[in-house]
Structure 1
């Protein structure tokens, strides 16, 4: 493999091949440079005939992108991702006489293209001869197992125009080449685990069962009481699944947005396919919103296991509304104060849904169970209200009776 200096190593090697040929034919009167197109003609490097090799683009080599390092990553090991690159160079000749009376730049370009035609593969010897000798060595491109190839790259008229106009440099006849592939090794170490000498404890091999159910603790569904859309504090949740019986079972609730993590023990009566848990009525510790839940199962002689995740919504509950009969003030605003459970965190978005209107709560910089809402231009009437916290609405419909009815505790009168 190569280190991060591989791109520079390729450029130096190509320049060396060109300079070596021109030195042999012109006794050092021709200079090979690697400058940007807009800097070639300033004569700060050479005032004579000149051949310029410009790296104008790099591309990821798709064939090598997801491959492991040859001869370094063994089966069962995980190597870091390679950086495989294709390099694109523009070869341009510049003549001191501006190609009059002889087209000198054409001759120089032909010789340069002949060099690359004679070296379709850059060998380790070419790389070693071109690079400076240091101790320890800085460059290691010569140790790359994959060969570096030089291939002519045809450019369309549009591509040539875009390239030269970008640098605002006078156009010169040029030839483009693709040099590939350069494999830059990651600086991160590979993962090399120890070989496996036994399977599970006591080398007992795989576990076989007669059905298609998961052999591990698994949650299949979550039932909310009374077919509600969301749960409330104090509700009993029923989890259905497989292999949920164990000496020690813990249920983990997580609200990722608010960074809340809670552990709750299930109700004592449980089976392998059924677990029940009552949400503790602890308004300070919980918050309305969306939760994920997993069940942790611990059996004697086995590692601790957790089930897959299920999700549910925890709805806010309106404990009280003051005043129940409200009138508008001098500014035409009605102010309502709601007492909620669980308490509302400062980062939560809270809105009162009154009729078909949404009214945001007044700022609440601290955790609280009381929120104030100011409603302007409301028509006097009776309204059923809901509160929406982080996208979860309070339960307006009472489904404990048949037929279901609206919760009268969520009713206000605007006079």
Structure 2
């Protein structure tokens, strides 16, 4: 395997090969517009114009270095594309053509770069002495690349210089080893308790806990703090529900009450902040705990401010402002996104400017709607608009709950008591 010096090592080896094979000292590796700088005699120039990944080696483990059961990081496999151009010391290109033919003959006779050739070419160079390309197991191959005249001429046009007859070569594969350490777990010495191996059962139902669905209280779109939700699946009777959050490091955990092997009733904590969670069931099984898969659970905020509400606008010489203050049953973290939805209009939580030291969490939010005096107010005035408090994408409830004795087929209706009017 090779390190990050591999590309430069390939270029140095090709130059060394051409110097020895053609017999001229001026073999350079310069861009096309700078190839003839300070050189007037016979010259060969190698221009590396493209580096592409080699798809055949892209996801392969390192040969002889990754054993079964270990996880390594694949090497970076590269294909290097070079443009070989010949120059002569006179105006007649015949000498340049002869030079190009000699160089192509040398590369044709050396389709593989040998380990000794690579090592001898890089060892005298201080910057490349640490290259280990010569230790790469996969051989480095040189192939003539049939680049069309159109693509070749476009390359020369890019550098705004006159076209010269050139030959394109592809050199591959160059494997640059990843610097990340592989995962090398210890081998398995015992398969299960008393080395009894795999235990099978003649049943399509798996022996571990399976969580398949969640049932919320009737007609609720999301769960709320303090709700009792039902988890359904199999092998759940001895399990305990666990909540996880990408926002909270240690969210409060629910209490679990088994109903049957296929159902658990879970009571959410009253202080559970709103937002998105995942819920799973853990079943204790010596020596470890077996978890089920996780399902998504949205916990909605609960507005504690009395609604419906009427808010009066404040008119100043420069602005017209409406300030709405709402409270929530549970504190919300400062970094959580909080907004108020009035009809189809959304306004973000407003912080004082400049902000004073703020608590890490709060359950009171200010929403300020402001527009210049004389401009149209962005929210309809004098109209009761349905209000929803949104925390991290989860909206508070806005559907009329079922009353005692109401059938489940009762049509859904917006809650008229969840409205705000701006005058």
CA distance in 2, matches of 1:98, 1:306: 79
Shift in alpha-carbon separation, 1:51–1:225, aligned structure 2, 3 A: same
Name which of 292, 296, 300 aligns with 1:315: 300
CA distance in 2, matches of 1:42, 1:272: 82
Shift in alpha-carbon separation, 1:225–1:137, aligned structure 2, 3 A: same
- Cα RMSD (Å) of the superposition? 2.9
Unmatched tracts of structure 1, length 5 or more: none
Range with greater deviation from structure 2 (347-356 or 74-83): 347-356
Find the counterpart in structure 2 of residue 21 from structure 1: 21
C-alpha contact (below 8 Å) 2:210/2:292 kept by paired residues: yes
**C-alpha displacement of 1:110:** 1.0
Instruction: Give 1:318-329 correspondences, 5 Å limit.
Output: 318-321=303-306, 324-329=309-314
Q: Secondary structure at the match of 2:303?
A: strand
C-alpha contact (below 8 Å) 1:321/1:337 kept by paired residues: no
Q: Secondary structure at the match of 1:10?
A: helix
Find the counterpart in structure 1 of residue 363 from structure 2: 369
Find the counterpart in structure 1 of residue 372 from structure 2: none
Find the counterpart in structure 2 of residue 259 from structure 1: 248
CA distance in 1, matches of 2:315, 2:48: 74
C-alpha contact (below 8 Å) 2:387/2:419 kept by paired residues: yes
Count of matched residue positions in the alignment of Structure 1 and Structure 2: 399
C-alpha contact (below 8 Å) 2:275/2:300 kept by paired residues: yes
CA distance in 1, matches of 2:216, 2:307: 30
Find the counterpart in structure 2 of residue 63 from structure 1: 56
Q: Secondary structure at the match of 2:98?
A: helix
Range with greater deviation from structure 2 (192-201 or 51-60): 192-201
CA deviation vs aligned residue, 1:361-404 (integer Å, no higher than 9, x gap): 43375433233345656443555533233322221223231246
CA distance in 2, matches of 1:137, 1:327: 78
Shift in alpha-carbon separation, 1:294–1:261, aligned structure 2, 3 A: farther
C-alpha contact (below 8 Å) 1:322/1:336 kept by paired residues: no
TM-score normalised by length of structure 1: 0.85
CA distance in 1, matches of 2:327, 2:415: 16
Instruction: Give 1:9-408 correspondences, 5 Å limit.
Output: 9-23=9-23, 31-43=26-38, 46-99=39-92, 103-132=94-123, 138-246=130-238, 249-256=239-246, 258-282=247-271, 286-299=272-285, 301-321=286-306, 324-330=309-315, 335-363=323-351, 366=359, 367-374=361-368, 376=377, 378-401=380-403, 402=406, 403=410, 407=415
Q: Secondary structure at the match of 2:151?
A: helix
CA deviation vs aligned residue, 1:276-330 (integer Å, no higher than 9, x gap): 1211222xxx32222211222223x231122211112211222223784555555
**C-alpha displacement of 1:189:** 3.5
CA distance in 2, matches of 1:323, 1:228: 20
CA distance in 1, matches of 2:153, 2:163: 8
C-alpha contact (below 8 Å) 2:340/2:390 kept by paired residues: yes
Unmatched tracts of structure 2, length 5 or more: 353-357, 370-376
Shift in alpha-carbon separation, 1:354–1:55, aligned structure 2, 3 A: closer
Q: Secondary structure at the match of 2:8?
A: helix
**C-alpha displacement of 1:348:** 3.4
CA deviation vs aligned residue, 1:112-169 (integer Å, no higher than 9, x gap): 1111111122223433443436999633333322222211111112221222123233
Q: Secondary structure at the match of 2:180?
A: coil
**C-alpha displacement of 1:335:** 4.5
Shift in alpha-carbon separation, 1:113–1:252, aligned structure 2, 3 A: same
CA distance in 2, matches of 1:109, 1:363: 72
CA deviation vs aligned residue, 1:192-234 (integer Å, no higher than 9, x gap): 3332222122212212223222322221111101131111111
CA distance in 1, matches of 2:398, 2:30: 73
C-alpha contact (below 8 Å) 2:308/2:418 kept by paired residues: no
C-alpha contact (below 8 Å) 1:320/1:409 kept by paired residues: no
